[in-house]
Structure 1
Amino acid sequence: MSHGETLRKVERGSRIVTVVPQDTKLVLQMPRGNLEVVCHRALVLAQIRKWLDKLMFKEAFECMRKLRINLNLIHDHNPKVFLENVEAFIRQIDSVNHINLFFTELKEEDVTKTMYPPPVTSAVQLPGDPEGRKVDLICDTMRAAMENINPHKYCLSILTSHVKKTTPELEIVLQKVHELQGTGNVPPAPDAVSAEEALKYLLLLVDVNDLYDHSLGTYDFDLVLMVAEKSQKDPKEYLPFLNTLKKMETNYQRFTIDKYLKRYEKAIRHLSKCGPEYFPECLNLIKDKNLYNEALKLYPPNSQQYKDISVAYGEHLMQERLYEPGGLVFARCGAHEKALDAFLACGSWQQALCAAAQLHLSRDQLAGFGRSLAGKLVEQRKHRDAATVLEQYAQDYEEAVLLLLEGAAWEEALRLVYKYNRLDIIETNIKPSILEAQKNYMAFLDSQTATFSRHKKRLLVVRELKEQAQQAHLDDDVPRGRESDLFSETSSVVSGSDMSGKYPHSNSRISARSSKNRRKAERKKHSLKEGSPLEDLALLEALNEVVQGTEKLKDEIHQILKVLFLFEFDEKGRELQKAFEDTLQLMERSLPEIWTLTHQQNSAAPVLGPNSTANSIMASYQQQKTSVPVLDAELFIPPKINQKTQWKLNLLE
């Protein structure tokens, strides 16, 4: 048991006289001789658990109510057994007030885990509802049982079960109250509750304004008046509003009520039934509350209202920079000009051409549009797509071939040349472009090789310099006796205190300045300038970029090697293939030397032990901190060169 159950403070020298059998009373004799009767918490809880195990709910409830034990224990002690015996619980309690008390104390918390943990020796309790809907489950189960036993007698408890749910079902409650009012001419059943009594009771459970709003949401003015009259509201507050509503057409009346209650989806549903003259008001509400998807379901797709809502929706998406969804909405409702602009904005050239086709442009207009679109695609480096547009929509295959050559799409350019039987373009444009490209690739590979070798050589030098500087620093700190240790440690402490005394506010200034310039510093923290603190990291980053840039060339090199062989430029092809192979081999051989395990870890390990001083320890930690920032850990992962990529052309061997 927990100490809260077993311990209770009494006067020193008190004695237990007896425990009342089958009860919770404990008789104590005080030191002065007087007798006192107490209900010890341990005995109370033990007895309650016994009663609950025997389904003696009435005894357990009366004891818990009298001694103020949380009533959730009735359910939480064994949820499965309680829910299976709810009807027995109701019949034994047999009191509307007591059942209502039970409802009002319900909460999602499991009191067997918080307030009243069971004894260690007790059996393992069954878990409650895993989805956290304990209160809803109890309310629904007990309501069904009460409606089965006597719905008239337990009317108030049934209403309480609706109100107590996680999401109070106030509209259902009000409807039940209204039904009670409707049975005014029928002789009341024994123990029946009148509508007036039920409403007064509800006002004790629910805020009067919430109840009024929910009654208004039923569109039943008799119910609204009934709630308003019992709520002590001033008639001047609600009667003019209700009288105005009564004069309105039914759908517009309900729209006004829903708008007042901020139920905007229901509001536009009712307003859509009021006729076309109310559509502008509906469209404004749709725009204000962003209800486009809901509104589109209310009108047939071929109606003008559907198109107007779609256009408004598309414009909203365009303002949010969602160009492609906006274009699709425009296209669906037939607003092809707006769809064309949207698809151009997002680069969806196929959809843009579809929209242009539906605008029934003339041949010249379509050609002009095709040229404009091709220009945009070239800016995005989509030469193949631009060539397709020029050939098929501007009927300019010559310009299409030039774009394909610019984009190194050699085989596609050849396809167009042979398709239109323009073999002269091979001599005038294709061959010169291939040779020019081969020359550019050679120059690029020379540049990459030189850059890689230079950075690699400098990286090895920087690493060696760092190791020498660290060793020299450690040699300077070798102790020459006990006094040197003392002076070293003292100097480090004094210097630190001096600095903190001279610049008491420096930390805050540095913090503010670094916060302001964090992004700028992030961009400039790696510098290839010789002697910079993080030069080795900058060199690693540069070497990584060179390797990855060269690796990405494999497909391009393979494509140009094929056309070099095709047009009998074998020497040029072999020269390029050899240069590329040499570059790759140089980088592959260098990877283990550049990205070594020793330098991936921190070479400046902290110096500890009997020969260390405060200065040497701080210096080594500072070296460690500046050498390998945590954010730059990815730089120590070597780039991958894919050996399986087939880029070589064996015909050139």
Structure 2
Amino acid sequence: MKNLELLELVHKGVPYPFTNVTLVSQTPQLIYYIRANSLHSHDLTCGETIQLGPPIFADASHLKSLIIENKTCVVVNNDLFIIALPNKFDKITFDKKIIEISWNPTEELVAVVFDDGEISTFCIDYENAEAFPQGKSSTDAGIPDTVYVGWGSKDTQFRGSEGKIKDQTPVETKPVFDQKPRISWRGNGEMFVVNYWKDQKRQFIVFETPCKALYRSEECPGLQPQVAWRPVGNMIAGLSVTNRQKIVIFEKNGQRRFDFDLTFDVMIKNLKWSPCAQILAIHTVTPTGQTIHLLTSSNYKWYEKQVLEFPAENALLDFDWLDTNQLQVVTQSDVIKYTFRNVVHHNSAAICGVIDGKHLNLTDFNNAVIPPISYARRFTNDKQINFVTFRHDLAMIIDSENDLKIFNVAEPDALLVTINLKKIVDLPQFALSCHHFLLSSESVYFAVTSDESVFYSLDWKNPQANFLTAITDNFSHLLQISGDYDNISGLKSLGNNLFINNNDSILCQIQTLGDQTYVCNLTSNNHFYLNEAKISDCANSFTLFDSYLLYTTKQSELFCLRLGQEGQNFRRNVEQGATIVCAVPNSPQIVLQLPRGNLETISCRLISIDILDKLLNEQKWAEAVRFIRLEKLNANLLFDLNPERFLRQIAHFVQGVHTINELTAICLEFEEGNVLTSIYKNWGKTTDFPQKINTIFASLFKYFDSVDYSVYITTIVAVNLNFFKLRDALIYLQDLYRRTNLKEKLLNAVNTLKIYGCDHEKLYTECLLLYDLELAGFIASCCQLDPRVYEPHLKQLSGLNEVEMRYEINLFAKKPKTAIIYLLRCPKAQTSDVLAFIKTHNVSRQAFENCPPKNRFYQSVSHAFAGDLSAKGCHTEAGVVLKRAGLPEEALAEFQLGLNWRQVLNLLEELNVDKVEKIKIVNDLATRLVQSNVRQAAILFEFYADNYEMAVKVLIEGFFFEEAIHIAMKHKRGDIIVSDVIPMLMKHKIYLEEKLQNLNESYNKYKQRLAQVRQQKFSRFNNDLDDCDERDDLFSDAGSTISKSSRSSRSRSSTASSRNRRKEEKKKQDLREGGIYEDIALIRALHSTIKEFYNKGEEVRNCCVLLLQESDVSYDEIKRIHDFYWKFDAEIQNGVAEIWPPHFYKNYQTLDVRELADLENFEHLDVEFRTPPGGRTNWKLNLF
């Protein structure tokens, strides 16, 4: 679907015409030619022409410029002259006359055919002018036998129509006058082909370097001398002339692969492939001039894309490919450099035009995707077409003779405008001098290039060229923008809303959206820019479509961006090598072309959702529902795009669905989450809607109830069954059952329940739970249950009163939590029955919640519930329940077990317990409370058990020295302080000294070992990097280190087994030297040590203060423990940065080897240990 279009034309005039020139060779900067037996060079940069050496090239047969070696070679009979600028001439003389010579692409090897048929290869020393033979062969060389595997030789295969054609009598061929051999090299320089004349016919032999004959071509009628090996692959192009001229493609083994007819019947002089192997240039000669035809292929169909005509007055001397799509042409008066590009031409309605010689094939993708080589309509011109462009429904073509024609794409046979540009503009005498055409509503803009580029406008109705401006700069794109824009970044203004782009982009498009202009550029190295901001470095195609930017990448991805919202984009995978042809308007369809030429249509979800949103805004719910089914979109989009709109227009939504089944399917697709934050998360900004399902169906059911909901009964049943409870669906069925005229819809609803997998027994049971025995009987009959089972059961239930019936039904449905409610209300129920039921079914909580205080079973139920709470260890809660039920003694026992001393004291007062018993209970409670709360136990001993000595004792044992001293002093018992408190305080001081000393030793030990481990890791990493550099310099330091680290991490990662996870966790805490996780184990140990030290701070402070205040311990001794603590604290503060270096908690990529060594196991370190511990307090005493 792509055309070959002129991207840039660079014209270099020559001061003196190249007349009487016999041989020409060219490089990007220099033109070498032989005239009057002398070698001349023309510098394209400065325009200077000089003669190189004396006139010694009278019989010169070959001229070659060597770009790599910076030499020029001339062949004269037996001699090979090597010329180096400015005037160094060397000569190599061979024993035989050179008939044909060719250099391989790297200029390392030269293949020579001598006049006796000998074929030899030489390696040339250009500095010393010596030729070293590499191999020798001839046209009579023996060819190795070909071994066929699989299907066998070509003659024995099932060849279909191709075989029948081969078996036909050969067509009489035209005589071949040129008997000179030709040589062509493969792109990698490892093989070459020699086309030669022998036995009154032409053949070719494929040689492998240095000069080993491998294959001889099969017989091809009318084979001509022209031969060109495609730079990439094994295809060899040749020319066959029989009743028609055709290009024949051979495989490297000489077998004919396919051929195609040429549309022109003129003499063909040469064939040349472009370096990218995508363009075949055919050089033809006529009495009136010479022509270069440029052909490309797709799906084995060859298209003639460009025809460059050069009149005899400005004869074509030579042409050559310089770069991928860059063709340099030398004529008598000019040197022109053409740069082509592959581009798809289409209009805004997705009508695509493909140039094929005199034809323009039109394909309308808006109606159907027609694969190449087919098309919908065709425009046929009298000359080959070089250029096409579209504007809305108009198409404009320019042919090889500069005739401009405009027609409507719907009626390509009816021309609207025909203008011969030669008659209204003075055009230079070389091809494509008139180029870069733009079609507007009433005018045509174009440029004419000679010494400068002159821009013209042309009115259709008055075909007269109007001069606009002239520039001397080269340009590649001519653009027009609707609106008044004087300055656009990256573009140069020409006036009249015309702009040129002179950067290195091969594709450029511009689009305006409101006040914003968007300029897209794709360069030859696949860099893609949007308004000078690079958004991809591997893009291979793009298009601007409405308010979207679509582009594909070499990584087989398609991206879609909303212009103005570049942060929101859509991405999907595509076939490898796929490029964009066009986007279909008013549709999410994007047409892609694969490398072989096949077309593929895909959808862009971003555009699909936008189209859906537009349909919903226009209240086209029927089209929107059909669209989501067609595009396979998630139905949640109907709500998630705009919840308020959906709820406001829910009637339109229901009416827009064609069938009830479709409505049911859409409703069942709804889900609680927002699909715009999950499946389509790149669509744009959105928020979650709370209680989405409940809100949707509440509104939907409200609408159903406002009309005749029986029409939608199957949807209602399916929704309730899927999202809510079966009971909710049965409520609707119950209402339908009572409306006798709707039995058919009731049956449909029951069938819906059965279709969605509702169990028949469960359905019968749920009907019973509605306490409607008639409906239950009807459902049982519909479900074909055994009447011998359900009819007696229903008869039994009908004989009970309402409460007993409901109890029996819930018992039958195995719902004891509901059954206990009705059991408590049964007049015939006994206490023992209730307690047995509670115990059997473990429903004490439900019984308590549904048993009012006035119920006769209230105390029994409360006692049962309290017992369950007590068994779970909830003694205080059990006591509250018992106290509420009027059971204080039982409540007292529970509060005692729960150590709730305040409630115990309250109940003791309430029960009027005597003082002795009360003290006994309090002593027992306080003794048990010591284990959990020393301070509260001391309060009980002091105030409620009259035992302050015991209070002091428990406080001392709990290291609450200050409170103990306070109680002793309050009761004027200084002797207790001397005899009990001070000795225990001294022991605590010794304990703290030993503890701080141990923590300090552990800290220093772990810290030193951590430094050693990190140094070892650093040394090992350095050694690994050195080894890596010696082995292979293709890997960077960072890449090698990171790869090694990631490999080791992956190899040590834990498996899914819980046992292995536990083993892995133990390794992370293993402090043994040499462990793979020793560094993070040391960090964990240091973290725990520091945290424990911080926790001892308050104890050290209190100990120091109380010793100074109450004891006779010396000031210096107390100061020593104080100072040791803060010295240790200073060591920790200084070492924190070493243990937890800054790169531990900074999120960046590092290349520092030491940091990489530290971070090797970092991902295995728990988050809580990645930063220093907290809890440090600054309590330092100023008195020290």
For normalisation by structure 2, the TM-score amounts to: 0.39
Query: Structure 1 residues 409, 8: closer, same or farther in 2, change over 3 A?
Result: same
After superposition, where does 1:187-586 map in structure 2 within 5 Å? 194-207=741-754, 209=761, 211-275=763-827, 277-287=829-839, 289-301=841-853, 305-336=857-888, 338-355=890-907, 357-358=909-910, 360-380=912-932, 382-410=933-961, 412-413=963-964, 416-417=967-968, 423=972, 425-427=973-975, 429-455=976-1002, 458=1005, 462=1009, 515=1060, 518=1063, 521=1066, 525-526=1070-1071, 537=1083, 540=1086, 543-544=1089-1090, 547-554=1093-1100, 556-557=1102-1103, 560-561=1106-1107, 565=1109, 569=1111, 571-572=1112-1113, 574-575=1115-1116, 577-586=1118-1127
Report how far residue 252 of structure 1 moved. Answer: 0.9
AA partner of residue 551 (structure 1): G
Match of 2:667 in 1: 107
User: Matched residues in 2 for 1:124 and 1:640: separation?
Assistant: 42
- The CA distance in 2 between the partners of 1:127 and 1:350, in whole Å, is 49
The aligned counterpart of 2:376 is 15
1:499 is matched with: none
| Separation of aligned partners in 1, 2:1088 and 2:626 | 79
- Structure 1, unmatched stretches of 5+, are 18-27, 29-39, 148-153, 182-193, 487-505, 610-616
Q: Contact conserved, 1:87 with 1:142, CA < 8 A, in 2?
A: yes
CA contact (8 A) 2:882 2:888 kept: yes
Q: Which residue of 2 aligns with 1:24?
A: none
Q: From 665, 673, 697, give the equivalent of 1:136.
A: 697
Question: CA 1:358–1:416 in structure 2 vs 1: closer, same or farther (change >3 Å)?
Answer: same
User: Which amino acid is 1:170 matched to?
Assistant: A
Taking the aligned partners of 2:1052 and 2:1091, their CA distance within structure 1 comes to 37
Counterparts of 2:1113 and 2:611, CA distance in 1: 99
Letter in 1 for 2:692: E
What's 2:712 paired with? 157
Opposite residue 266 of structure 1, the aligned amino acid is T
- Asked if the contact 1:390/1:400 (under 8 Å) is kept, the reply is yes
The 2-side partners of 1:241 and 1:338 are apart by 44
Residue type of the partner of 2:732?
A: V
Distance 1:124 1:467 in 2: 47
Given that residues 139 and 161 in structure 1 are in contact (C-alpha distance below 8 angstroms), is that contact kept between their aligned partners in structure 2?
no
**Residue identity opposite 1:375 in structure 2:** T
2:1148 matched to 1:587?
A: no
CA offset at residue 146 of structure 1?
1.5
| Pairwise CA distance, 1:553 | 1.0
Report the Cα distance in structure 2 between the residues aligned to 1:598 and 1:74, rounded to whole angstroms.
Answer: 52
**What is aligned with 1:630?**
1165
Alpha-carbon distance, 1:239 to partner: 0.6
Q: 1:271–1:282: 8 Å Cα contact kept in structure 2? A: yes
Q: Secondary structure at the match of 2:857?
A: helix
Deviations 1:228-281 (A, max 9, x none): 344433321211111111222321111111232344443222222112624544
CA deviations over 1:560-614 (Å, ceiling 9, x no partner) = 25xx53x6x5x537346423431233123312343233764799xx9999xxxxx
Paired with 2:1158 and 2:372, the residues of 1 have a C-alpha distance of: 68
User: Against the structure 1 CA distance between its residues 543 and 140, is the aligned structure 2 distance closer, same or farther, given a 3 Å change threshold?
Assistant: closer
Displacement, 1:365? 2.6
Higher relative contact order (CA 8 A, sep 6+): 1
Tell me the amino acid that sits aligned with residue 172 of structure 1: I
Contact 1:554 1:647 in 2 (8 A): no
Check conservation: 2:866, 2:882, Cα contact below 8 A.
yes
Alpha carbons of structure 1 residues 509 and 451: separation in structure 2 relative to 1, 3 Å: closer
- Structure with the higher strand share, 1 or 2: 2
- Using structure 1 for the length normalisation, give the TM-score: 0.65
Contact 1:87 1:146 in 2 (8 A): no
1:99–1:157 contact (8 Å) kept in structure 2 = no
Cα contact 2:838–2:847 (8 A) shared by 1: yes
Q: Percent identity?
A: 17
In structure 2, do the counterparts of structure 1 residues 239 and 637 end up closer, same or farther at CA, with 3 Å as the change threshold? same
C-alpha change, 1:106 and 1:556, in structure 2 (3 Å) is same
Paired letter, 2:736? V
1:630 offset after TM fit, Å? 1.6
Q: 1:74, CA displacement in angstroms?
A: 12
Larger gyration radius, structure 1 or structure 2? 2
Q: Please tell me whether residue 172 in structure 1 is matched to residue 731 in structure 2.
A: yes
| Cα gap change, 1:646 to 1:433, in 2 (>3 Å) | farther
Amino acid at match of 2:903: Q
Identify unmatched segments of 5+ residues in structure 2. 1-348, 351-364, 379-409, 411-584, 590-607, 755-759, 1033-1050
Q: Report the AA paired with residue 1169 of structure 2.
A: E
CA distance 1:395–1:541, change in 2 (3 Å): same
Contact 2:989 2:1103 in 1 (8 A): no
CA contact (8 A) 1:211 1:227 kept: yes
CA distance in 1, matches of 2:1092, 2:819: 62
Deviations 1:170-223 (A, max 9, x none): 333233224323xxxxxxxxxxxx143343232222235555334322323233
Q: Determine the C-alpha separation between the residues in 1 that align with 2:1000 and 2:634.
A: 80
Contact 1:295 1:309 in 2 (8 A): yes
Check the 8 A contact 1:178/1:195 in 2, yes or no: yes
8 Å Cα contact 1:544-1:639 kept in structure 2: no
Cα distance change of structure 1 residues 578 and 125 upon mapping to structure 2, 3 Å threshold: closer
Segment of structure 1 superposing worse, 168-177 or 77-86: 77-86
Cα distance per residue 1:280-328 (max 9 Å; x no partner): 4444444455544432233233655222222222222333344443343
Supply the AA of the counterpart residue of 2:1066.
A
Q: Which deviates more, 318-327 or 626-635?
A: 626-635
Whether the aligned pair in 1 keeps the contact of 2:876 and 2:895 (CA below 8 Å) is yes
Map of 1:502 onto structure 2: none
- Report the AA paired with residue 177 of structure 1: L
Q: Is the 8 A contact 2:660 2:715 kept in 1?
A: yes
> 1:469 Cα shift?
5.7
Amino acid at match of 2:1070: K
Counterpart-to-counterpart distance in 2, 1:126 and 1:6: 38
SS of 1:275's equivalent?
coil
Task: Provide the C-alpha distance between the structure 1 equivalents of 2:1003 and 2:1023, rounded to a whole number of angstroms.
Answer: 31
**Residue 215 to residue 480, structure 1, CA distance change in 2 (3 Å):** closer
RMSD over aligned Cα atoms: 5.8
Output the CA distance in 1 between the equivalents of 2:1028 and 2:772.
99
Secondary structure in structure 1 of the residue aligned to 2:667:
coil
How far 1:451 sits from its partner (Å)? 3.1
SS of 2:692's partner is coil
Distance in 2 separating the partners of 1:579 and 1:113 = 67
Q: Does the aligned pair in 1 maintain the 2:968–2:977 contact within 8 Å?
A: no
